[in-house]
Amino acid sequence: GFYRNIILSNPRRRNALSLAMLQSLRADLLHDVKSKDLRVIIISAEGPVFCSGHDLKELSSEDDVKHHSLVFEICAEVMTLIQKLPVPVIAKVNGLATAAGCQLVASCDIAVASEKSQFATPGVNIGLFCSTPAVALGRSLPRKVALEMLFTGEPLSAQEALMHGLVSKVVPEDKLDEETRKISQKICESSKSILALGKATFYRQITQDLDTAYKMTTQVMVDNLTLKDGQEGIEAFIQKRKPVWSH
């Protein structure tokens, strides 16, 4: 298996999520996603800013309400798409992630950040409250931490983001590539079909009450055993050999 690198590469515009950037990101996320060889997607960025959020020039009064709606609708589509993809998506953050850029990090399955990274939702300071980023933040962070970020616009350091669960790991900048690659390679050792089932089930159960979640996941465990790779994994464990996945 292999992992695909998607690189936000407009550092002069602080990798802002313009409409064109969002459309490109959506296309890259969906490209050949059903291939059994594709196992992990990594989103990173060029320059000192991972992503500054929406391009504010596109949100001025020069554009009409229809254009504004399209920007936010496609952004929401991209953020939800990440969790619907059958492969894990890792954010590799080396710098500042603000507003919808912070939302992008929060929407990924895993986030690895360098020690210099920071995370903020400063929209309140310019009169545009980060309501859509709040959806991802409110599902990743404790409520009071998310609301302090949203109400003040003050940034979290990488270590604070780790402590509160916005990112998975924080490493020195010179170890960021190595750590992200290590996680990706470990994921590639598992069956794609099993990971796809597990990822979809995780996001389904997380919004359900406890009894409903256990009822649903109990059935998924049974279904998992009927999959070819489910049986292969158990047989390989019993026979003390490496599994041969069909994906």
Domains of the chain by start residue, with CATH: 3-188 (3.90.226.10), 190-239 (1.10.12.10)
pLDDT, one tens digit for every residue, the chain (247 residues): 699 999 999 999 999 999 999 999 999 999 999 998 999 999 999 999 999 999 998 988 776 889 899 999 999 999 999 999 999 999 999 999 999 999 999 999 999 999 999 999 999 999 999 999 999 999 999 999 999 999 999 999 999 999 999 999 999 999 999 999 999 999 999 999 999 999 999 999 999 999 999 999 999 999 999 999 999 999 999 999 999 999 9
- For residue 131, the tally of other CB atoms under 10 A from its CB is 11
Q: Give 96-158 as a DSSP string.
A: EEETHHHHHHHHSSEEEEETT-EEE-GGGGGT---HHHHHHHHHHS-HHHHHHHHHH-PPEEH
